[in-house]
């Protein structure tokens, strides 16, 4: 079974703090994704990585950066957290080479910025 884990289920940070959200997958997937989920807006893609050290902006990258130093780990960084970044953050991985196009999701991190 594919397992995608995220470092925290709940996180509370102060405005201006630097925040790291970590995601680890154990199935050797090439592709990894960070989404944020907000009521009425569904899932929106923040960043995407298709290989180690490779990344691509998604639909809403402003205020975020990412790091992928190892294949299994994909980190989302909020350089200076703001209240409008309060949201649920979901990480996913997929095996495009396998041809299934299916994404496997982690349990999510609910981030509150005060």
Give me the residues that bind another protein (CB under 8 A), please. 9, 31, 33, 35, 40-45, 48, 58, 88, 90, 92, 94, 96, 100-108, 110
Q: Which two tokens stand for residue 64?
A: 């975020």
Name the minimum Å distance from CB 69 to another protein: 22
Name the minimum Å distance from CB 83 to another protein: 21
Pick between residue 8 and residue 17 the one whose CB is nearest to another protein. 8
Name the minimum Å distance from CB 80 to another protein: 26
Measured distance CA(54)–CA(6) in Å, rounded: 20
């Amino acid at each position: 079974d594919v397992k995608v884990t995220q470092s925290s289920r709940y996180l509370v940070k102060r405005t201006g703090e630097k925040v790291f959200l970590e995601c680890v997958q154990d199935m050797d997937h090439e592709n990894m994704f960070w989404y944020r989920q907000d009521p009425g807006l569904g899932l929106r893609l923040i960043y995407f990585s298709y290989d180690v050290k490779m990344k691509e902006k998604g639909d809403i990258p402003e205020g975020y950066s990412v790091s992928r130093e190892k294949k299994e780990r994909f980190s989302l960084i909020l350089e200076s957290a703001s209240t409008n970044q309060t949201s649920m953050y979901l990480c996913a991985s997929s095996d495009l080479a396998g041809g299934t196009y299916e994404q496997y999701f982690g349990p999510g991190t609910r981030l509150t910025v005060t």
